[in-house]
């Protein structure tokens, strides 16, 4: 039946040759891992004036391991929109940071941070790693004040680096209470660094019960039971 769905989508695309049917057909190809085939459809859509297809081409190129082409396509997409493409800037910045490409990574993340939590967190981490703690905190506070879950761990790392451990603990507790088990694991690490081993284990257990595999593996190595009592 999935192939029937693909055949129907292909037939619809060949009949209509419009953006909607082409996008649907390409998306199904992507779902099946047929990135080169999907990229060809996106290229045809782009040639027909469906400019957003360039973003699809970028995604396909990256999935098949061609980072150079992926970057080129996204840069072209951003340029045709006079640089006013925060979501595309966010993804490009994240891709560049993932491979330590440098260049305009920070600028792209700053643009993308307004609409993308991952870009905001990555910007904070980048600034923290460069020792620009005040800038990092300012960047992360925006999302934190809006209650964005992804801001808690990066902000806590900045606060810890600045020696404000009690504030970092409070931020991680809050993140855990919002449902982020990864905050529990990071809180455990922080408490252990502070010499509070027993309290740290309690938080590792909470993290493990929340599905954090790092916490599960750490506790397993130490022979500590994680199941609820």
Structure token pair of residue 127: 């600034």
* Buried residues in 45-77 as b, exposed as e (16+ CB within 10 A): bbeeebebbbbbbbbbbbeeebeebbbebbbbb
Confidence of residue 91 (pLDDT cuts 50, 70, 90): very high
Kindly state the average pLDDT of the residues 49-57.
91
Kindly state the average pLDDT of the residues 84-90.
88
Kindly state the average pLDDT of the residues 68-76.
93
Residue 12's pLDDT is: 94
| Number of separate helices (H) and strands (E) present in the chain | 14, 0
pLDDT tens by residue, 170-199:
999 999 999 898 999 999 999 999 999 999
Alpha carbon distances (Å) from 228 to 48, 198, 205, 210: 58, 17, 9, 11
Give yes or no for residue 89 having a pLDDT over 90. yes
Cα 32 to chain centroid distance, Å, stands at 22
pLDDT tens by residue, 20-33:
999 999 999 999 99
Residue ranges and CATH numbers for the domains of the chain are 1-84 (1.25.40.10), 100-174 (1.25.40), 180-229 (no CATH)
pLDDT tens by residue, 118-158:
998 899 889 998 999 999 999 899 888 888 888 899 999 99
Kindly state the average pLDDT of the residues 39-62.
93
Give yes or no for residue 229 having a pLDDT over 70. no
Kindly state the average pLDDT of the residues 52-73.
94
C-beta separation of 9 from 24 below 8 A: yes
Residue 84's pLDDT is: 66
pTM: 0.77
CA-based nearest residue to 152, from 129, 128, 176: 176
pLDDT tens by residue, 205-221:
999 999 999 999 999 99
Residue 56's pLDDT is: 94
């Amino acid at each position: 039946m999935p192939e029937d769905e693909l055949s129907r989508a292909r037939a619809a695309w060949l009949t209509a040759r419009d953006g909607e049917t082409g996008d649907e057909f390409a998306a199904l190809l992507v779902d099946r891992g047929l990135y080169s085939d999907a990229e060809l459809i996106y290229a045809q859509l782009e040639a027909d004036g469906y400019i957003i297809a360039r973003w699809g081409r970028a995604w396909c190129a990256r999935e098949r391991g061609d980072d150079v082409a992926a970057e080129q396509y996204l840069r072209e997409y951003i340029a045709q929109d006079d640089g006013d493409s925060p979501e595309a800037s966010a993804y490009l910045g994240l891709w560049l940071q993932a491979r330590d490409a440098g260049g305009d990574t920070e600028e792209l993340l700053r643009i993308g941070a307004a609409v993308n939590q991952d870009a905001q967190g990555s910007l904070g981490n980048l600034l923290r790693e460069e020792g620009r703690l005040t800038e990092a905190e300012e960047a992360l506070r925006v999302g934190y004040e809006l209650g964005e879950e992804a801001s808690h761990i990066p902000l806590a790392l900045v606060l810890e680096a600045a020696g404000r451990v009690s504030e970092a603990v409070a931020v991680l507790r809050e993140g855990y209470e919002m449902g982020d088990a990864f905050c529990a694991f990071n809180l455990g690490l922080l408490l252990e660094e502070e010499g509070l081993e027993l309290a740290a284990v309690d938080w590792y257990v909470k993290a493990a019960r929340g599905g954090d595999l790092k916490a599960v593996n750490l506790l397993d190595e130490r022979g500590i039971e994680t199941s609820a009592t």
